[in-house]
Amino acid sequence: MRRRFSRKPPACADWAPGDGIDPRLDQHAGRRSAVNRKALQLCEQVAHTLRSVLAGECGDERLRDLLVQAVQPAPDSTRLLVTVYPGPAAQEVDIEGIVESLHRARGMLRSKVANAIHRKRTPELVFQVLNETAR
Give the domain ranges of the chain: 37-134
- Per residue in 29-88, pLDDT (tens digit) is 555 555 688 899 999 999 999 999 998 877 778 888 889 999 999 888 899 999 999 888
Domain 37-134: CATH superfamily is: K homology (KH) domain (3.30.300.20)
Has residue 21 got a pLDDT over 80? no
The model carries a pTM of: 0.69
- The predicted pLDDT at position 56 comes to 83
Per-residue pLDDT at 2: 73
Q: 3-state secondary structure string, the chain?
A: CCCCCCCCCCCCCCCCCCCCCCCCCCCCCCCCCCCCHHHHHHHHHHHHHHHHHHHHHCCCHHHHCEEEEEEEECCCCCEEEEEEEECCCCCCCCHHHHHHHHHHHHHHHHHHHHHHCCCCCCCEEEEEECCHHHC
Question: pLDDT for 78-116, tens place per residue?
Answer: 999 999 998 887 677 788 988 999 999 999 999 999 999
Q: Name which residue leads in pLDDT, 61 or 122.
A: 122
